[in-house]
Amino acid sequence: DGGITQSPKYLFRKEGQNVTLSCEQNLNHDAMYWYRQDPGQGLRLIYYSQIVNDFQKGDIAEGYSVSREKKESFPLTVTSAQKNPTAFYLCASSDGGLESDTQYFGPGTRLTVL
């Protein structure tokens, strides 16, 4: 059963703590992405990776970090430097680069900062 998985589905964090969101895909896709979704707004790109061991900042990278040590995994760390981290986080993957390949999404992780 191919697809993208994200864990956990719900995550609670105290202010000042770092937290890591998991994203795994078995679609053999080269590119992976992290988005943030806030109510009433479109998806905003945090980080993306087009190949293993390489990644680039998106539009709202401040307060976040990523790694891409394996093709199938692209974890996102929300650091204490992120001023407003409560949001729905979506991971996606695509077969190619950013320009035109369709991105397929995971089920999302809802992060709440207490």
Interacting residues toward other proteins by CB under 8 A? 4, 6, 35, 40-43, 45, 48, 58, 90, 92, 98-100, 102-108, 110
Tokens found for residue 41:
């707004």
Closer residue to other proteins (CB): 9 or 14 = 9
Closest distance of CB 34 from other proteins, Å: 12
Residue (84 or 100) nearer to other proteins, CB: 100
Least separation, in Å, of the C-beta of 105 and other proteins? 4
Give the distance between the most distant pair of CA atoms in the chain.
38
Specify the DSSP class assigned to residue 103: P
Beta-carbon contacts of residue 55 (< 8 Å; ≥ 6 apart): 47, 48, 49, 66, 67, 68, 74
Q: Which is nearer to other proteins, 75 or 108 (by Cβ)?
A: 108
| Least distance CB 12 / other proteins (angstroms) | 16
Residue 57 CB, shortest distance to other proteins, in Å, is 11
Q: Which helix (H) or strand (E) holds 31?
A: strand 31-37
Distance of alpha carbon 113 from alpha carbon 19, whole angstroms: 10
